[in-house]
Amino acid sequence: MILLVHMLFGASIGLIFQNTPLAFFLAFLSHYLLDIFPHIEYPIYNIQNKNWKKSFYDFLKVFLDFLIGILLIFLFSNNKLIVYICALFAILPDGLTLIHSLSPKILNWHHKIHAETIHYLTKQKNFPVFWKIFTQVITVIISIILLQKS
């Protein structure tokens, strides 16, 4: 899933759960839960292949995705600090994956769980693009509703 989907869902967890450590933990775990559903991701092949001369647009996609996520959280939440921290915890697994792709000897255990196990569940099935987008749209809508209600 794209970052903003994970961020919004993690932020909504931050508003729902009053226990701060539990909220952080559940926001982190929510990333793996959402990745089980069919979804699309934008390619960042140049970053993964360490092709730095061509990676500007990959970094731009990630930055804009992150920025839009922060903006939506700002617009639709009560802007408590826990909301933003949970949003960051929700995207932490992708950060760990990026570290692994830059240095494959680091975080190999995480790569096996995240990329080779959880993503494997959906990537091995040929889901129509509609369902891959639909799951993300529904997650965003539910997250925004939860952010506004709290």
How do residues 124-148 score in pLDDT, each as one tens digit? Answer: 678 888 999 999 999 999 999 999 9
Residue with tokens 């794209």: 2
pLDDT of residue 30: 97
What is the rounded CA–CA span in Å between residue 144 and residue 71? 12
For residues 150 and 79, is the Cβ–Cβ distance under 8 A?
no
Whose CA is closest to 118, among 42, 29, 14? 29
How do residues 78-129 score in pLDDT, each as one tens digit? Answer: 899 999 999 999 999 999 988 888 788 888 888 888 888 887 677 767 888 8
pLDDT of residue 124: 67
pTM: 0.91
Residue with tokens 């903006």: 71
Residue range 41-66: mean pLDDT, rounded: 89
Instruction: Answer with the residue of higher pLDDT: 149 or 81.
Output: 81
Cα dihedral 49, 54, 56, 61, rounded to 10, equals -60
What is the rounded CA–CA span in Å between residue 66 and residue 7? 8
pLDDT of residue 108: 87
Query: Is the pLDDT confidence value at 71 over 90?
Result: yes
Query: Is the pLDDT confidence value at 40 over 80?
Result: yes
Residue range 44-67: mean pLDDT, rounded: 90
